[in-house]
């Protein structure tokens, strides 16, 4: 049983060695180890705080991006409405100008037609007058070819003049 039960001296020296190792470890190892653990804990806490701050900033940026996107969409809609209004105005102005131009062309064409009609009527009258004179000349030449017809015509003109 000697082997199983330790002696008092062994217990004493083991306890003394444990206490010495404990003091040495506390003085030289535990403080640096605990300091390193505290430093690591602080670094982890700072990293978590930075991550939380970055998360909040990201949420704020997302909200700002959404706001800018909505503003851009509203601005695009406004620009499209203005462009449509301008295009409609240009189309209406072009239609009005085309109508005015067509009315002017029609009036000009009607005036030209009236002028041409007047000229044609004048030309027809002139031709009718020329034809009448030509016919009258030919008739008179035929009727006045003999001397008796000429004397008879002169007497009838004289009688008409006296009657008037």
CA distance 16 to 104: 126
Q: Are 135 and 129 in contact (CB under 8 A)?
A: no
Stated pTM of the model: 0.41
- Token pair, residue 40, equals 């690591």
For residue 48, CA distances in Å to 34, 40, 44, 55, 82 come to: 21, 12, 6, 10, 50
Considering only CA atoms, which of 129, 126, 152 is closest in space to residue 140?
152
Domain locations in the chain as residue ranges: 8-163
Q: What is the DSSP string of 61-72?
A: HHHHHHHHHHHH
pLDDT in tens, the chain (164 residues): 566 677 788 889 999 999 999 988 888 888 888 888 999 999 999 999 999 999 999 999 999 999 999 999 999 999 999 999 999 999 999 999 999 999 999 999 999 999 999 999 999 988 888 888 887 777 777 666 677 777 777 788 778 777 76
């Amino acid at each position: 049983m000697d082997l199983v039960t330790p002696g008092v001296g062994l217990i004493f020296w083991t306890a003394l060695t444990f206490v010495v190792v404990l003091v040495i470890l506390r003085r030289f190892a535990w403080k640096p180890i605990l300091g390193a653990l505290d430093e690591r804990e602080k670094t982890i806490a700072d990293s978590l705080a930075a991550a939380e701050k970055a998360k909040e900033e990201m949420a704020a940026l997302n909200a700002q991006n959404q706001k800018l996107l909505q503003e851009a969409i509203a601005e695009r809609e406004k620009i499209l409405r203005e462009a449509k209004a301008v295009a409609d105005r240009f189309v209406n102005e072009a239609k009005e100008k085309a109508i005015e131009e067509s009315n002017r062309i029609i009036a000009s064409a009607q005036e030209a037609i009236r002028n041409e009609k007047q000229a044609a009527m004048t030309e027809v009258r002139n031709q009718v007058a020329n034809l009448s004179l030509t016919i009258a000349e030919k008739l008179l030449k035929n009727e006045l070819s003999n001397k008796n017809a000429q004397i008879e015509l002169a007497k009838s003109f004289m009688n008409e003049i006296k009657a008037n």
